Chain A
Amino acid sequence: MQNLVILGDSNVICLGRALNSTSCEDLLGKVYIDYVFNGSLILDFVITLPGGREIINPMVLKSLVNAGLCHPYAGSPNPFKGCLVLMFGSTLVNSLGLEPGLRDITFHDVDADGMYFLPKGILLDAALEVCEKFERGLTILREYWPEAEIVIYGGPPPPRDSAKTRATMKLLDVPDPKLRLEVYRQNAEALRIISVRTSTSFALPPAAVLEDDGFIAEKYNDDGFHGTSLYGEVIIREIERIYLQHYYRLVDRSYD
């Protein structure tokens, strides 16, 4: 059984690449990474049964079982006391540009040609609503593994230059990067609020991968949405530093 399990959507792919590279050999066997499914982990983390009862998405549970966590239905006591990291991008950020006819939105200058002014408060409330089911899922997870450390780890912020985004997603209407960044920030704030409510941890990519104004640094940007392998390595090291070492310090002194 792994002590550090990282599950996520397409944002964990770069971590997987990093783990398979020589630079992270030392982590092999200590970290389990699984790309749960191609979709929105936030929206599909929980599914609703016909009777109205909500359960964790079986795809997620399958990943957790593959990682060695006892299936919650197998009975107690459940021994997992490690760290479970859930990593995903922002549905709202990703949806920007996926919607045809999206009008340019500004938070700053209503007089700009064709720009649609959006008061910020709505973004946070929207992000909280988007995460509603995810929040309920976290509560269920917390009941399954009460002693585990559950970490919500945000995906990378968008790049300042949207040329790469435009190139990789040619069919889409790519909006102003500043709008994407603002949506990203509000989404992060929503996740922080949820982590407090659900007694989980919350983390964002470290400052090392960001530019001064909060965009992802160019060398870490893969396609405008995801990080590069280099980004994956930074993140996996960061996770290991904060959570894995912390775990071993607590439960396995041999790690020191």
Chain B
Amino acid sequence: MPRNFVLIYQAREGSSAIMEQLQRNDEVVMPLFEELDWYLLKELPVPSVAELLDRTFKTGNYQLARNTTLLPRYISHETKDTGKCIGFKWRIWGESDRIANVLRDHDVVVFHLLRSNLLNYSFSTYLSEQIVPLTKNGKNIGIKSGDQLQFYVSELPENERREFQQWLQSLRPTADIDVFCRIATEYVEHKKWVEDNFISGFRQKGLEVHTLRYEDLASDSDKFFARLRDIIGLSSRPVTPRFLKKVSPKSGPMQLQNLEEIERNLRYRDLSKTYDEFCEKIQALDTSGQWAPSSRPSGSQSRHLSCPYMKLLDRSFWSRAVAKTAFKDIDLLDRAPFTVTSEMKIATAGSCFAQNISRYLSRSGFNFFVTEPGPTFISKYASTILRSYNYAIYSARYGNIYTARQLVQLFDRAFGAFEPADTSWEDRGRFVDPYRPQIQPRGFETVDELHSDRLQHLAAVRRMFCELDIFVFTLGLTETYVSKLDGAVYPVCPGCGAGTYDADQHQFTNFDYGAVVEDLEGFIQRLKSVNAAARTILTVSPVPLVATAEPRHVLQSTTYSKSVLRAAAGWIADKYSEVAYFPSYDLIASPAGGAQYFAGDQRTVREEGIAHAMRMFFKHFCDRDMVQPGDQDFNVSSASVDAVKRDQLDLMARFAAVCDEEQLDRR
């Protein structure tokens, strides 16, 4: 015999659709539709809600003490028969303990319905409450405030329904943010109230509680109802739902003109974050098996539930987390291992892609820590010059650091543990630093000038490592050239843009996974030795290789290089608690994105991709909202750099990223 059930719901969660579908089943008696609601019963001389509930489950009849004509169309007069279960939906209220006892006495399965996508919920409510009632077409079909839009639509003839849906899509309203947030707030508060006051108590009393998601209903109603039938124990074959093809999970908010503004709204973001955490908690409880009675279900169903994948969150499944999610909404992170605050000194280094992180951080008011800022008297009147001389692009004037080995050697050079034999390259009477060949346009005037500048630079690097709070390092390459004399790593092949390639002195190297891990570990240990509190965020540049020195296709080498770097960075982050991996590469380079975040050359990362990654970064790592940088934003704000003033470096972002690697393809 199927089990009794109750569906705890709130408006616009698809409850009516679910109940209409279940009502078609001969094994289900549905004595009432939504008549246990507080607003319907508050004026009636009824016993306590627990007693009313008890009587309903006992008899199958929803019998008020006094008949009322208020609720004619919602009440079934069917009496409970043997072999049938009782089920209805309910906006729950009343005395929690007594209700729990009644439900337990009648072996009632509790379904808790919610919408995990707060934005969609809010939009749906906003649309039906605020937009449709005000529109001409809405009035033409008789929709008024409070009506259930989807039912009106489902009753329309096919052509009218299509026309209406097209009209709906074309509305593209601009939402009043205050109203939108109010709707979202009420929903979140109500869901938490239900959970805190009823559902958690039900679980404690051993009731079986299942969380049902509207999104699952909307995306795959067959599967949704199959699950319901399994849990309730209905034997009937599924009937294809009649009106569930109405709105796809992502079609709603797409119609909002100011969707991005809403998503940026601090109040909404806080709310959304709170709600996401709430849903996650609920889901964890729901899938933990705590509520599942050992005696049921049995057979194939229990085998199904024992599958470890049943306990995983949606994000673990491609079908739910990728295939049915708009790519721009994909969020790869769960939570960051530590928080980055605006007071922290954040230093950056790495491949050209690393510059984007410092750009977004500084624009959003974070403390981009610069220890080699350049002279301020120049930047005031010649704002672009400092950047062309590579000041304040990264925290110190080291240019691109593509490999982990290069980073380790920079550290060792700064602290006097390594002094490469190759100290300068002469080029038509000018002198180039082999370890930052693009740093000085046209090179240095003299070797002495180069050495003096290097001394100062390494002092700035020392200070950076010693004082930073967060070090963001973007791994770019595994291919590199090293000096045969002492293994010194060059950022770019000698002879490409600067210097002269000499096969007797220079050697191509392509680091493997073990070497990258070893170098990264070496760096983490070194950093810890001078700055115990420092934390590191590793990223991998999604930018493909400009060229490969391996005798194979550049695409193949790109795959190798990025795979090694990604795996090594992940391994290090898993091993060291002070290290986090930020998956900007995973997002931007994902095949799921269909290269939409790359420009026409399939290499340059478009601003939308960077923004998406940085939204993720800010959401999980940061204590404040992201501000989208404009063309002129490169806002250095280092409290510890006394000579740098914010406004003086604001204009720097107008330039493209500085990339030594570009020198490899100059033909």
Contact = CB atoms under 8 A, between A and B. Distances in A.
B445 interface: yes
Nearest to B372: A116
Contacts of A92: 377-378, 381-382
Interface stretch (B384-392, B465-473, B624-632): B384-392
Interface stretch (A16-24, A124-132, A204-212): A124-132
A101 B449 contact: no
B77 interface: no
B642 A119 contact: no
Interface residues of B, number: 28
A126 B381 contact: yes
Contacts of B25: none
Interface string A91-127: 1100110110111010111110000111111110111
Contacts of B642: 101, 103
Contact of A103 (B388, B449, B450, B643): B643
A167 interface: no
A179 to B, nearest CB: 9
B455 A103 contact: no
Contact of B385 (A96, A98, A102, A122): A122
Nearest to B453: A119
A95 B381 contact: yes
Contacts of A28: none
Contact of A110 (B381, B382, B443, B455): B455
Nearest to A42: B381
A80 B453 CA distance: 50
Contacts of B364: none
A91 B381 contact: yes
Interface in B368-397: 374-378, 380-386, 388-389
B441 interface: yes
Nearest to A96: B377
Given A99-B376, A121-B442, A130 B382 contact: yes
B440 interface: yes
A117 B453 CA distance: 6
Given A126-B381, A130-B382, A117 B455 contact: yes
Contacts of B166: none
Nearest to A118: B375
B199 to A, nearest CB: 60
B298 interface: no
A119 B385 contact: no
A168 to B, nearest CB: 19
B445 to A, nearest CB: 6
Nearest to B444: A119
A110 B442 contact: no
A96 to B, nearest CB: 5
A2 B301 CA distance: 105
Nearest to B451: A110
A96 B375 CA distance: 10
A125 B388 contact: yes
B452 to A, nearest CB: 4
A110 B452 contact: yes
A105 B452 contact: no
A175 B445 CA distance: 23
A91 B382 CA distance: 10
A126 B450 CA distance: 19
B380 A99 contact: yes
Given A95-B380, A129-B384, A129-B385, A110 B441 contact: no
Interface string B156-176: 000000000000000000000
Contacts of A127: 382
A123 B379 CA distance: 11
A130 B375 contact: no
Given A126-B382, A126-B385, A116 B441 contact: no
Contacts of B450: 119
A173 to B, nearest CB: 10
Given A111-B455, A126-B385, A129-B384, A121 B445 contact: yes
Interface string A60-92: 000000000000000000000000000000011
Contacts of B382: 92, 125-127, 129-130
B385 A125 contact: yes
Contacts of A126: 378, 381-382, 385
A108 B443 CA distance: 17
Interface string B436-462: 000011111100011011011000000
Nearest to B381: A130
A251 interface: no
Contacts of B386: 122
Given A125-B385, A126-B385, A105 B449 contact: no
Contacts of B445: 119-121
A43 B382 CA distance: 11
A101 B643 contact: yes
A243 to B, nearest CB: 29
A95 B377 contact: yes
Given A117-B456, A120-B449, A101 B376 contact: yes
A43 B377 contact: no
Contacts of B440: 119, 121
Contacts of A118: 375
Contacts of B381: 43, 91-92, 95, 126, 129-130
B380 A119 contact: no
Nearest to A105: B375
Contacts of A43: 381
Contacts of A98: 377
Nearest to A115: B456
Interface string B634-646: 0000000011000
23 contacts: A91-B381, A92-B381, A99-B380, A102-B643, A103-B643, A108-B452, A110-B453, A110-B456, A111-B455, A116-B456, A119-B449, A119-B452, A120-B445, A120-B449, A121-B443, A121-B444, A122-B375, A125-B382, A125-B388, A126-B385, A129-B382, A129-B384, A130-B381
Q: Which 3 A-B pairs have the closest CB atoms?
A: A129-B382, A126-B382, A110-B452
Given A110-B452, A122-B386, 18 more contacts: A92-B382, A95-B381, A98-B377, A101-B642, A102-B643, A103-B643, A108-B452, A110-B455, A110-B456, A118-B375, A120-B445, A122-B385, A122-B389, A125-B389, A126-B381, A126-B382, A127-B382, A129-B385
